[in-house]
Amino acid sequence: MSKTITQDLSFLHLIGGASLPVQLVMLLLLLASLVSWWFIFRKLFTLRQEIKQTDEFESVFWRGSDLNALYQRAASARHVAGSMERIFEAGFREFTKYQSGVDIGPVMDSTRGAMRAVYQREMDRLESHLSFLATVGSVSPYVGLFGTVWGIMNAFRELSNVGQATIAHVAPGIAEALIATAMGLFAAIPAVIAYNRYASDTAQLATRYESFIEEVSNVLQRRVAKPRDMANFS
Amino acid sequence: MVRLPGNKSEPGKLRAAFFALLVHVVFLALLVFGLNWKNEAPEALSVDLWADLPSHPIKPAAPVAKTTSQPKPVKPQPQPQPQQKTQPQPQPVIKAAPPPVRKPEIALKDKTEKPHPEKEVKKPEPVKKEAPKEAPTQKTVEKPVPKEAIKKPEPIKKETPKIEPAKKVEQKDDAQQRAEAHKQAQQQEQQMAAAQARAMGEIEKYKAMIQAKIRSRIIMPPDLPGNPAAEFTVTLLPGGDVLTVILRKSSGYPVFDDAVERAIYLAKPLPLPPDPGLFSAFRNLNLAVYYRE
């Protein structure tokens, strides 16, 4: 008796011995965990790159380099540029479409609008998949719990068929059911941690972009005050 | 107005997928191989099984082996040499799992040397050699593996020699086996008796402890004449809790009876032997408490 139980308690045996719904739950959780880890790593790379590019562009921009040259660089390297560079590019292009002599109010409005649009799109890109992490983090414990409850229900139902109930009759069933909870937690914990981390990272980036938009529009507005410079732009 | 910024290619999609897989594979490997799910449990169980037993059977077994065998201190060490020459049969019994290289050797010797050692050694053997042969086997079986129960190795000793020599030398071995079996039966009886005596001693000891504990809780009513005795039947639960206390025979002084009854309830949990097998002797306990010691 004791020997069979100890043999049954190996990890793979437990998974193999679980009932079909519990196995399905485990499979679901495994998939959720795999995908969420995939997103975790993708987001990790993306955000790390984004922060690096933003740092670089900000330092270049505030070093007082020529806006025109910056624009040229941003436009040519659009596919590898960071979000901040793209925001700047969109705003500057919109700004240069208006030639001198036009009222400054609408120009600045549309410039800011163009930057806002790109900003929204970039934020959308940065925040993509974060909702999936949040979902996995909040739902997979419940899914695992469902598997556990189901497994324990079965374990006790089988117990009712046995005349003399001992702990040895329920123990394997409960153990295999509890694996579902363990898997749910294994999927949820990293997802929640990653979600919180990435959400705060994106929020920080968002603040930086927003203040950058304001600053760029101020710089451009100052440019309008000196219309002679604008002649160079086209 | 604004052209859509070209879809920026996300960095490291494949790399991320690879890392995600890696995390899971590592975690799974940790679960399956890192934790010894299988090995831990049997160890714990085997300890449970043999925790109480060895103290009873092994001690009585040792003196028996000593008295019967004189050459014992010499034999066990040079085991392989004398046994291969003189006793081809018991060897497979002693070494339950000899290296596979040895077996053919033994088989060869069985065939080649059989006639000589059988006639030379075995003839004077049946009575005298019995003991020394018996002794080393016991030594080797019992000493290095003190956890093994007595009952298990013995049936093996009886049966395995029966099968092997039966084909070749039947009559001599029959006598030998009978003697051996007799000896083992005797030994077993001795051990059983010893274990029983031990159990009885244990029960007596704990009964005395129960008495002492109850006595220490009695608040003696002063100045009763003589030495009255109150007898109670106490029903115990495993763990030493008192279920019921029934006055079987009054001492004649209700004051004393009540004091003893109170003391019995006060004394719980009563001391019980750790071996749950002995509890049956304590389930319905008859206690006689005297006024004076």
pLDDT digits (tens, 9 = 90+) for A80-119: 788 888 899 898 888 888 766 677 788 888 889 999 999 9
Interface A:B, Cβ pairs < 8 A: 77
Q: What is the pLDDT of residue A149?
A: 92
* Shortest Cα distance, chain A CAs vs residue B26, angstroms: 13
Within a domain: A230: no
Q: What is the pLDDT of residue B69?
A: 43
Map tokens 């070209």 to a residue.
B6
Cα distance between residue B197 and residue B192, in whole Å: 8
State whether A33 and B2 contact (CB < 8 Å). Answer: no
From the number of C-beta atoms within 10 Å of its C-beta (0-12, 13-18, 19+), residue B196 rates as exposed
Closest CA relative to residue B265, chosen from B213, B188, B226: B213
Q: What is the pLDDT of residue B118?
A: 43
**What is the CA angle B256-B261-B234, rounded to 5?**
130
CA B291 to chain centre: 42
pLDDT digits (tens, 9 = 90+) for B227-254: 888 888 888 888 788 888 888 888 888 8
Q: Tell me which chain B residues have a C-beta less than 8 angstroms from the C-beta of A3.
A: 42
Closest CA relative to residue B120, chosen from B168, B70, B86: B86
Within a domain: A113: yes
> What is residue B226's DSSP assignment?
S
- Decide: helix, strand or coil at residue B235: strand
* Shortest Cα distance, chain B CAs vs residue A86, angstroms: 7
H helices, E strands: number in chain B? 12, 3
Q: In one letter, which amino acid is B287?
A: L
Q: What is the pLDDT of residue B47?
A: 52
ipTM, 2 dp: 0.73
Most confident of A35-49, B19-33, B145-159, B210-224: A35-49
How large is the angle between the packed helices A83-97 and A104-127, nearest 10 degrees? 160
Q: In one letter, which amino acid is B141?
A: V
Task: Report in angstroms the alpha-carbon separations of B129 from A76, A100, B30, B67, B167.
Answer: 103, 125, 57, 14, 22
Q: Tell me which chain A residues have a C-beta less than 8 angstroms from the C-beta of B2.
A: 90, 93-94, 114, 117-118
Cα distance between residue A82 and residue A51, in whole Å: 9
CA B91 to chain centre: 25
Q: What is the pLDDT of residue A48?
A: 92
Cα distance between residue A175 and residue A177, in whole Å: 5
B233 sits in which H/E element: strand B229-236
The more confident residue out of A178 and B170 is A178
Q: What is the pLDDT of residue A226?
A: 63
Residue among B20, B32, B37 minimizing CB distance to A38: B20
CA A114 to chain centre: 25
Residue among B13, B37, B38 minimizing CB distance to A42: B13
Residues 6 or more apart whose Cβ sits within 8 Å of residue A28: A143
State whether A117 and B2 contact (CB < 8 Å). Answer: yes
B288 sits in which H/E element: strand B284-290
Q: Tell me which chain B residues have a C-beta less than 8 angstroms from the C-beta of A2.
A: 45
The answer to whether A29 and A184 are in contact (CB under 8 A) is: yes
pLDDT, averaged across chain A: 84
pLDDT digits (tens, 9 = 90+) for A20-58: 888 899 999 999 999 999 999 999 999 999 999 999 998
The token duo for A83 is 């979000």
The token duo for A66 is 């020529």
Cα distance between residue B119 and residue B114, in whole Å: 9
Interface contact B9, partner A, CB < 8 A:
yes
Q: Which domain holds residue A110?
A: 18-224
State whether B27 and A186 contact (CB < 8 Å). Answer: yes
Mutate to test the interface with B, among A36, A40, A42 (most CBs of B within 10 A): A42
Concatenating the DSSP letter of every residue in B164-221 gives HHHTT-HHHHHHHHHHHHHHHHHHHHHHHHHHHHHHHHHHHHHHHHHHHHHHHH--PP
State whether A42 and B23 contact (CB < 8 Å). Answer: no
State whether A78 and B10 contact (CB < 8 Å). Answer: no
pLDDT digits (tens, 9 = 90+) for B246-279: 888 888 888 888 888 888 888 878 888 887 778 8
pLDDT digits (tens, 9 = 90+) for B113-150: 444 444 444 444 444 444 444 444 444 444 444 444 44
Cα distance between residue B188 and residue B150, in whole Å: 8
Domain ranges of chain B: 54-197, 218-290
Cα distance between residue B184 and residue B156, in whole Å: 12
Within a domain: A172: yes
Q: What is the pLDDT of residue A205?
A: 93
The answer to whether B94 and B141 are in contact (CB under 8 A) is: yes
Strand pairing class (B284-290; B242-249)? unpaired
Within a domain: A194: yes
Interface contact B208, partner A, CB < 8 A:
no
Q: Tell me which chain A residues have a C-beta less than 8 angstroms from the C-beta of B9.
A: 79
Residue among B2, B5, B41 minimizing CB distance to A9: B41
State whether B5 and A90 contact (CB < 8 Å). Answer: yes
Residue range B218-290 forms a domain whose CATH class is alpha beta
From the number of C-beta atoms within 10 Å of its C-beta (0-12, 13-18, 19+), residue B183 rates as middle
State whether B16 and A45 contact (CB < 8 Å). Answer: yes
The token duo for B33 is 């191989």
